[in-house]
């Protein structure tokens, strides 16, 4: 099967899928016009890019795990039928790509805004119908990740199902498995912003479930979208698995995914000024150590193609260690350390050797950053408690305790 690929709303190439093998080629006219490449791993040329480059790039645009299986079941196909999955959901993927049918010139108004009851129904529906692929709005979209999400358009009128429109925000509903996950991520993202990290805007929105109960959902503004004069424009991004040519099932270092060495090398190679983006990555590393985010894998780091290539804003900042059923090892080891307790001089030296970054030379600056992180978590925890339901405050208290414990260990490590 051949699927047309549009980039920044223009035809740019053809994706050929033969069973599970893929190849990609740019259109001659797109090459002649000097169009930008869809990936730093596939420069714009007459070359036919083979499966080794193409498959990881496009496979990583799809949801993962159980969500992919649900989506495949809903579409009546197999989860490895990539042509069907991409054709059905490729209209609004991460970045500036559209797969299959090109972007439609949709001059019709957005669907009416959802009431709190209607939002509750939709959030319940996506538990079995990820991304509502067959709804009456003609939605054709996909978001990578293993957690259920709802892409929407939010404007001054409220929350709209995006249909064929480019979505502007992503909504994550509460989790039945992990209590307080919404408040957890909201606190961590707000604290990251307060501590000086580059993060998208986040908020909490109320919805009403079928039993009449009020709940909060987590809303994050898409950093790969920009709204100008009421028109939403796609910005391009690619995650580190796409760049490294690693499929989503291998996103963890222990499974063959990229580590900090690869992340820093990518920043040195593609971003300018590289030192600025490397410093941001160092601070994200420390922030994740402090909050206990063991799930900071390669797909949670991306490049954003905007006014050059930059490190994309931080996302999916969550304290995973407050949930005992989750993995307690780092997604990417820090030197030889797989836990905060394993951070020692040997891990520091190995991290330096592998990444080319000497954290000890920056110790005084990083110690001050640790102070700002703790202050931010304490301040934001108080504010989040004031506006959220008391039954979800336990997880916030756990994050406070854990962050102080981890900060103490990280301080000692950097001395």
Give dist(CA 323, CA 246) in Å, integer: 28
Please give the pLDDT value at position 110. Answer: 87
Give dist(CA 414, CA 368) in Å, integer: 12
Please give the pLDDT value at position 257. Answer: 95
Please give the pLDDT value at position 307. Answer: 85
Residue corresponding to tokens 């796409």: 242
* One pLDDT digit (tens) per residue for the chain, 415 residues: 999 999 999 999 999 999 889 999 999 999 999 999 999 999 999 999 999 999 999 999 999 988 899 889 988 999 999 999 999 888 888 999 999 865 444 567 889 999 999 999 999 998 887 765 444 444 434 445 457 889 999 999 999 998 778 899 999 999 999 999 999 999 999 999 999 999 999 999 999 999 999 999 999 999 999 988 878 999 999 999 999 999 999 999 999 999 999 999 999 999 999 999 999 999 999 999 999 999 999 999 999 998 899 999 999 999 999 999 998 999 999 999 999 999 999 999 999 999 999 999 999 999 999 999 999 999 999 999 999 999 999 999 999 999 999 999 999 999 9
Give dist(CA 162, CA 232) in Å, integer: 11
Residue corresponding to tokens 């030889």: 336
Please give the pLDDT value at position 102. Answer: 52
The answer to whether 226 touches 232, Cβ cutoff 8 Å, is: yes
Give dist(CA 4, CA 12) in Å, integer: 8
Whole-prediction pTM: 0.94
Please give the pLDDT value at position 137. Answer: 41
> In CATH terms, is domain 236-414 a member of 1.10.3470?
no
List Cα–Cα distances, 243 to 7, 236, 257, 263, 351, in angstroms.
Answer: 17, 13, 11, 10, 22
Please give the pLDDT value at position 141. Answer: 40
**Residues involved in catalysis:** 295
Please give the pLDDT value at position 228. Answer: 83
Give dist(CA 220, CA 14) in Å, integer: 32
Give dist(CA 189, CA 412) in Å, integer: 25
Helix or strand holding residue 263 (H, E): helix 260-270
Sort 196 into a burial class: Cβ within 10 Å, 0-12 / 13-18 / 19+: middle
Give dist(CA 31, CA 415) in Å, integer: 52
What token pair was written down for 243?
A: 């760049």
For the residues of 103-147, what is the DSSP string, one character each? PP---SPPPPPPPHHHHHHHHHHTTTSTT-TTSTT-------BSS
Give dist(CA 192, CA 380) in Å, integer: 10
CB atoms within 10 A of CB 345: 11
Residue corresponding to tokens 């040195």: 268
The torsion of the CA quartet 328, 333, 339, 344, rounded to 10 degrees, works out to 180
The answer to whether 281 touches 274, Cβ cutoff 8 Å, is: no
């Amino acid at each position: 099967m051949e699927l047309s690929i549009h980039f920044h709303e223009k035809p740019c190439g053809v994706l050929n899928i033969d069973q599970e093998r893929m190849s990609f080629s740019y259109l001659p006219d797109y090459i002649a016009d000097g169009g930008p490449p869809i990936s730093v791993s596939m420069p714009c040329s007459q070359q036919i890019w083979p499966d080794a480059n193409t498959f990881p790039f496009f496979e990583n645009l799809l949801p993962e795990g159980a969500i992919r299986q649900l989506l495949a079941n809903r579409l009546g196909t197999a989860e490895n039928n990539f042509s069907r999955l991409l054709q059905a959901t490729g209209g609004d993927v991460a970045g500036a790509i559209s797969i299959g049918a090109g972007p439609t010139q949709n001059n019709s108004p957005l669907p009416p805004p959802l009431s709190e009851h209607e939002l509750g129904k939709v959030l319940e529906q996506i538990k079995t119908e990820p991304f509502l692929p067959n709804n009456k709005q003609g939605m054709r979209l996909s978001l990578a990740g293993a957690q259920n999400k709802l892409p929407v358009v939010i404007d001054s009128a409220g929350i709209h199902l995006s249909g064929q429109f480019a979505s502007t925000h992503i909504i994550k509903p509460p989790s039945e498995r992990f209590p307080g996950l919404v408040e957890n991520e909201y606190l961590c993202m707000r604290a990251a912003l307060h501590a000086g990290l580059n993060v998208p805007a986040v908020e909490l929105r109320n919805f009403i479930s079928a039993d009449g109960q009020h709940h909060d959902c987590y809303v994050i503004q898409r950093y790969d979208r920009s709204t100008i004069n009421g028109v939403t424009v796609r910005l391009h991004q690619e995650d580190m698995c796409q760049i490294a040519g690693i499929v989503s099932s291998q996103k963890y270092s222990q499974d063959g995914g990229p580590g900090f060495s690869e992340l820093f090398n990518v920043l040195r190679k593609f971003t300018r000024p590289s030192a600025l983006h490397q410093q941001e990555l160092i601070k994200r590393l420390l922030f994740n150590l402090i909050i206990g985010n063991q799930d900071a894998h390669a797909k949670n780091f991306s490049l954003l193609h905007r006014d050059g290539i930059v490190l994309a804003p931080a996302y999916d900042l969550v304290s995973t260690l407050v949930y005992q059923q989750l993995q307690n090892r780092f997604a990417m080891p820090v030197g030889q350390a797989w836990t905060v307790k394993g951070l020692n001089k040997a891990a520091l030296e190995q991290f330096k050797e592998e990444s080319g970054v000497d954290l000890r030379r920056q110790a005084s600056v990083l110690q001050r950053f640790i102070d700002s992180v703790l202050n931010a978590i304490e301040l934001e925890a108080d504010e989040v408690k004031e506006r959220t339901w008391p039954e979800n405050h336990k997880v916030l208290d756990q994050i406070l305790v854990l962050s102080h414990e981890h900060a103490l260990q990280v301080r000692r490590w950097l001395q």
